[in-house]
Amino acid sequence: MTTPSADELLFVALGGAGEIGMNLNLYGHAGKWLMVDLGIAFGDDTMPGIEVVMPDPAFIEERKEDLAGIIITHAHEDHLGAVADLWPRLEAPVYATPFAASVLKRKLREAGLFDAVPITEIPLGGKFKVGPFELEMITMTHSIPEPNALAVRTKFGTVFHTGDWKIDPEPLLGEVTDEVTLQKIGEQGALAMVCDSTNVFVEGEAGSEATIRVNLEKLVKTRRCRVAVTCFASNLARVESIAKAAVAAGRHPVLSGRALQRMVEAAQECGYLLDFPATVSEQEAGYLPREKVLFICTGSQGEPRASMAKLATGEHRDLVLEDGDSAIFSSRVIPGNERSVGRLQNALMARGVEVIADGSEEHLHVSGHPARDELVRMYQWVRPRIALPVHGEIRHMVEHAELARECQVPETVLAPNGTLVRLAPGPATVIDHVHAGRLARDGDVLIDLGGDTLRERRKLMWNGSAAATLVIDRQGRAVSAPVVSLRGIEDADGALTEAIVGGLKEMLADLSAGERRDDSRIEEAARQAVRRIVRSHLGKKPLTDVHIVRI
């Protein structure tokens, strides 16, 4: 299958279905493809040296002449963070509402692509056409300004693509969910709903941002020394709540972290946060009494280069946290980040800093994703014929499909990354599986997450490396003793090195005269000898290199 026909509507996720993050969704119809979101996820302990991971767009890159456009539903990294890296492979026009466009333009400017990427700003609630797709942005609530669902209309009906959402009657920043339009879609008959699964295991509702503002103000007023509060930089309603809590407690708010400063600038550029409390610079904050400052920090997930991590290690250039100060985590721990957040909180406590996190007696965070009661309400409004869960691990998607069935949805489809689904005509059907790999940003280049580079890096991390240089004459006889170099391998008394040298001498002596004239044969025999000796001494299989020098 290369080109979707005019008589079918297709869907495939290349990212974000079977995981939380890296969202990349594709709709195919009438010879064209429509991409919804192009995001990243962050590396973990299994990816040494990797901070950012993203979907491999190979499937759509091979068809980029048929890619009509890229729609960005909102400005979170897992929905737009890969545009700067992957757009040169796709070269399609980008569509976004003003705030997401503002955030994206800053990223593109840093990447040297500001003038290259055509971005069309769509007003909130805007209707527009991209290729054969009639589209409508639908205002939702989430944990960032201007979250949008997308109505994708074709001759087969409307697919309601929720993006990230929740139901919050008091979002504090931005508009409430457009229930009228959602109900209208249901009344007109929705073909399918492609829906967020993140909190499907959470009973009840996510809760309102307004309650967190009240709780933060109460908590900050009880502190007597410095206070540092960390949250997601993109949760600008929360950032504003923290700043207002500081002012209510007689403190000066300090924005600490470039991501926070960029987000506030982008929001104000789009008409949000225009009454944001006056802030003090990081350089000026050090001159104020401890009880008069509050640091709003990046780094809620334990990111090693973020502001909170620098405070925990005493490496921040301008700010400090000391015994008696308080660190407040107004965020949840993203699955996979438990260890990094634990290390950060332990480091703070080791400095005598009181750590207050959500889940303690204080209620300091509400999710931006719908809990079960909200999902049920959405199904009651939209009443789709087909439920297609995304934005979750497999366990989330399976549970979401079961919930959809309980909500009397006639068809449910479980479609992890790479699963090509025909939504219409006829019953929704899995018709193929396509490549859905992963790319990792390694410094300034992108590499295959499953390729040799990271495989060898992981092996080096776990087993160390052994290198041997053999200096031989034209007949393959040793001119001098082999030179052995071990890295990440214990050999305090030199016994292992001595054993390897002896083993390499024996290896050369055991080869025939013809084999000693073949460098590749010597290299392979030497590599096997080194591995065998290290394994017999330490039980490890190191990354092994052998160099042959003939003189």
For residue 298, give the DSSP letter.
Answer: S
Residue 83's CATH number: 3.60.15.10
Q: Flag whether 344 is in a domain.
A: yes
d(CA 478, CA 349): 59
pLDDT for 457 equals 84
Residue written as token pair 């070269």: 91
pLDDT for 219 equals 97
Same domain? For 521 and 546 the reply is yes
Q: Flag whether 458 is in a domain.
A: no
pLDDT for 361 equals 62
Same domain? For 263 and 381 the reply is no
Q: Is 492 exposed, middle or buried (0-12, 13-18, 19+ CB in 10 A)?
A: exposed
Q: Flag whether 4 is in a domain.
A: no
What angle is formed at CA 416 by the lines to CA 144 and CA 92, rounded to 5 degrees? Answer: 60
188: its two tokens? 């007109």
Residue 474: which residues within 8 A CB-CB, separation 6 or more? 517, 550
Same domain? For 195 and 220 the reply is no
d(CA 119, CA 97): 10
Residue 472's CATH number: 3.10.20.580
pLDDT for 477 equals 87
| Total structural domains within the chain | 3
Same domain? For 30 and 170 the reply is yes
Domain boundary among 298, 331, 357: 357
Contact 122, 128 (CB under 8 A): yes
Query: For the range 123-126, what are the long-range contacts, defined as Cβ-Cβ under 8 Å and sequence gap of 24 or more?
Result: 123/97, 123/98, 124/97, 124/148, 124/175, 125/178, 125/181, 126/97
Q: Flag whether 58 is in a domain.
A: yes
Same domain? For 341 and 214 the reply is yes
Per-position pLDDT tens, the chain of length 551: 568 999 999 999 999 999 999 999 999 999 999 999 999 998 877 787 788 999 999 999 999 999 999 999 999 999 999 999 999 999 999 999 999 999 999 999 999 999 999 999 999 999 999 999 999 999 999 999 999 999 999 999 999 999 999 999 999 999 999 999 999 999 999 999 999 999 999 999 999 999 999 999 999 999 999 999 999 999 999 999 999 999 999 999 999 999 999 999 999 999 999 999 999 999 999 899 999 999 999 999 999 899 999 999 999 999 999 999 999 999 999 877 899 999 999 999 999 999 999 765 679 999 999 999 999 999 999 999 999 999 999 999 999 999 999 999 999 999 999 999 999 999 999 999 999 999 999 888 888 888 888 888 888 888 899 999 999 998 888 889 999 999 999 888 899 999 999 999 999 989 998 998 899 999 999 999 999 999 998 888 898 999 999 88
Domain boundary among 306, 324, 357: 357
Query: For the range 331-337, what are the long-range contacts, defined as Cβ-Cβ under 8 Å and sequence gap of 24 or more?
Result: 331/230, 331/231, 331/232, 331/235, 331/300, 331/301, 331/358, 331/364, 331/365, 332/358, 332/365, 332/367, 333/301, 334/20, 334/301, 335/20, 335/393, 336/44, 337/44, 337/301, 337/302
Q: Which domain holds residue 228?
A: 209-357
Q: Flag whether 459 is in a domain.
A: no
Same domain? For 351 and 487 the reply is no
Q: Given 3-state DSSP classes, what are the helix, strand and coil percentages for the chain, each rounded to the nearest 5?
A: 35, 25, 40
Same domain? For 225 and 153 the reply is no
pLDDT for 334 equals 85
Please name which of 130, 92, 86, 79 lies closest in space to residue 108, comparing C-alpha atoms. 86
Same domain? For 222 and 82 the reply is no
Q: Tens digit of pLDDT for each residue in 328-374? A: 999 999 877 899 999 999 999 999 999 999 765 679 999 999 999 99
Q: Flag whether 1 is in a domain.
A: no
Which residues share a beta bridge with 133?
A: 130
pLDDT for 1 equals 56
Same domain? For 409 and 519 the reply is no
For residue 166, give the DSSP letter.
Answer: B
Task: State CA 501 to chain mean position distance.
Answer: 47
Same domain? For 193 and 325 the reply is no
Residue 305's CATH number: 3.40.50.10710
pLDDT for 308 equals 98
Phi, psi of 140 (to 5 degrees): -125, 180
d(CA 551, CA 532): 28
444: its two tokens? 């300034």
> Three-class SS of residue 321?
coil
Q: CA–CA distance from 147 to each of 13, 63, 176 (Å)?
A: 20, 29, 10
Model-wide pTM > 0.85:
yes
pLDDT for 497 equals 94
pLDDT for 399 equals 98
Same domain? For 98 and 141 the reply is yes
Domain boundary among 357, 390, 425: 357
Contact 416, 424 (CB under 8 A): no
E strand map for 220-303: 227-230, 252-256, 293-297
For residue 190, give the DSSP letter.
Answer: E
Same domain? For 387 and 287 the reply is no
